[in-house]
Amino acid sequence: MKTNSKDPIEKLLLDTFDEYKIPEYQNSWTKIKTKVAKQQFFKFNPLQFNVFYGVAVAGIMAAATLYFVLSETNTAIAKEKSIISDQRIDNTLVADSLLIDTSNSVLHK
C-alpha cells in the first residue's frame, strides 16, 4: 500500500505498517460463539430453547411428581381407613374403630 504522500510522517507510518496483520488467537471465534450462545440462552425467544422453557419443564415435572406421589399417598390412606380391612390380628378383625374378636364373639371399643 504505497501512496504518493507529501507528508513524510504519513509516508513513514504507511511504509512501516503496510504489511502488519493482527494475529488471530486460537479459539477466538469459539469463545465468541460460546459467549453469544450463553447470552441468548438467558433471553426469551419463543423459537429457541432458553432458560424460561427449562424452568417451565422443571416446574411441570415437579408438579406431576407431586401429583402422583400425593395421589398414591391418598390412595394408601383411603385403603387404611376403609371400613373393613383385610388384616387379622390374633383372630381379631379390624373394622374402623371397633375391634371384633372372632374367637369369643365379644365387641371391644
- Kind and range of the H or E run holding 69: helix 51-80
Q: How far apart are CA 85 and CA 96, in angstroms?
A: 8
Shortest CA distance to 92 belongs to which of 80, 82, 77, 106?
Answer: 106
Which regions in the chain score pLDDT beneath 70?
A: 1-6, 78-109
- Which DSSP letter does residue 108 get? E
Return the pLDDT at 93: 52
Return the pLDDT at 4: 58
Q: How far apart are CA 50 and CA 66, in angstroms?
A: 25
